[in-house]
Amino acid sequence: MELKDYNNCVKEWADALFRFACKSTGNEEDARDVVQNSFEVLWQKRENVAPAKAKAFLFQVAYNQSIDNYRKQSRVSYKEEIDDSRSITPGQSDLKRVLERALTKLDEQSRALVLLKDYEGYSYEEIGQITGLNESQVKVYLHRARKVLKEYLVSVENVI
Amino acid sequence: MVNLENYEEYMMMYADGELDEVATKALMDFVAANPELAKELEAYSATKLVPDTTMVYANKDQLMKTPPAGGRTIGMRTWWMYAAAAAVLLFTVTIMRKGGDTADSPAVASNTPTTQQPASTPTTQTPVTDNKTEKDSNKEELHSNPIIPVNHESNIANAKSKKQKAKSIVEEQPQEEIKIAKEEKVTPAPQQPAYKPENEPVQQVLAQQTEKPNKVEEISTPTEETSNEQSKPRRRLLDLLPISRSKKEGASMIASAVSKRVENVTENLKDTDIKLKIGNKEIFVVKL
């Protein structure tokens, strides 16, 4: 990967990575650290990372760091810190707000899987490569997460 | 095939976007056949998160890399380091060579008495002057003297004279000896049949042997001169040192004593022969 490719990655994926890190860690400051570290690792390993694989590499690093970060700090107050100020802006639907809250009910790994699936549209196989899980595990964890989210949405009356 | 056992998995895969067109149609047909499941399908579909595009990373410029400028600077730094090292090395070598020149100067100075020595025939004087320049610088002499064998033999004589340090003074007789050696080489008839001139080194040994008796005579006279000449540059160098005069005198005395000692050793070596014997057979003898 050349310098130009790296800078293109910054332009292309910094925002997505930041969103993913925000939702994974539940904290913007931690998310910034995750993004900076991820790109730093990419820069250091640029000789071994092809431009086409750069995005997956970034999310892999961010996923590992987010999981570690979350486990270290075990921020339980994740949703209150994140959603009200930035992601839930006035005018957004109640469904989205409830869904953001439902996301906090998931463990960090399941949340990361849902984010990778819904935010970035990765396939089971790609998620498996990023997270180090096999395809079946990804599918099982994701379906468990979907079920939790669905149950939460259904349980909240007036939303659906 | 979608049924009541697996429809939920199909719904979740539908929410994940993992169903192909055929499977999607099968699910939709199944839900259409079971309308009570439509709400459940809607709920699963609602679990799909939508990214908030208003959330952006503010300082992307800080993540960008611009190494070319930094790389150039590092290169210049490295270049200057090498340049500085080269300058220091050159300076050191220059100083050392300067010191070496002063040390060699006695050899040049010692040649001056040769001009004061009894005049010889003009034919012999010319090679003497040539040989002086040979003593000073071997490379220059190679260019100045077109006769290659003479240069070769004179170089041998130079090497020998360097070994004996103070015996670098050239007179007419050694020059004649060099000529003799040259003639010996041109005409391969051995003057000393005891040693077979099979190759060049043996010839050189023969040439040196022919020089020997005359050299012994000539060396005896200029030894004192050369010892005096050797002490001169040391004194000059000592004058440069920031030490007291008494210490300088002491150092010069030590230097002269050491030089005399070296001369004695050289004198002893002069009368020594080096023999190589295998069993009782004498292979060769080198007379110094």
Please give the structure tokens belonging to residue B130.
């040539």
Residue A134 lies in a domain: yes
Residue A123 maps to which CATH number?
1.20.140.160
| pLDDT of res. A101 | 85
DSSP A25-55: HS-HHHHHHHHHHHHHHHHHTGGG--GGGHH
| pLDDT of res. B69 | 59
pLDDT of B104 strictly over 50: no
Each residue's pLDDT tens digit, B158-173: 544 555 544 444 444 4
Q: What number of C-beta contacts closer than 8 Å exist between A and B?
A: 89
- Is this prediction's ipTM beyond 0.85? no
Rounded Cα–Cα distance for residues A9 and A58 (Å) = 9
Tell if the CB–CB gap between A124 and B18 is shorter than 8 Å: yes
Instruction: Provide the shortest C-alpha distance from residue A75 to chain B (in Å).
Output: 21
Closest residue to A11, CB basis, from B48, B51, B60: B60
> In this complex, is the C-beta atom of B9 within 8 Å of any C-beta atom belonging to chain A?
yes
Each residue's pLDDT tens digit, A69-120: 766 665 544 444 444 444 434 445 677 888 888 888 888 899 999 999 999 9
Residues 6+ apart with CB under 8 A from B240: none
| pLDDT of res. B105 | 46
Mutate to test the interface with B, among A49, A93, A118 (most CBs of B within 10 A): A118
Instruction: Provide the shortest C-alpha distance from residue B38 to chain A (in Å).
Output: 12
**Domain residue spans of chain B:** 7-46, 74-287
Residue A160 lies in a domain: no
| pLDDT of res. B28 | 93
B261 compared with B191, residue with greater pLDDT? B261
Mean residue pLDDT of chain B comes to 64
Residue A31 lies in a domain: yes
Overall average pLDDT of the B134-163 stretch: 46
Our measurement of the distance from residue B271's CA atom to the centroid of its chain's CA atoms, rounded to an integer in Å, reads 36
In this prediction the pTM is 0.48
Q: Which residues of B touch A94 (CB under 8 A)?
A: none
Rounded Cα–Cα distance for residues A87 and B196 (Å) = 106
Residue A59 lies in a domain: yes
Residue A141 lies in a domain: yes
| pLDDT of res. B270 | 64
Range of the domain at A132: 3-155
Count of domains for chain A: 1
pLDDT of B108 strictly over 80: no
| pLDDT of res. B148 | 43
pLDDT of B230 strictly over 60: no
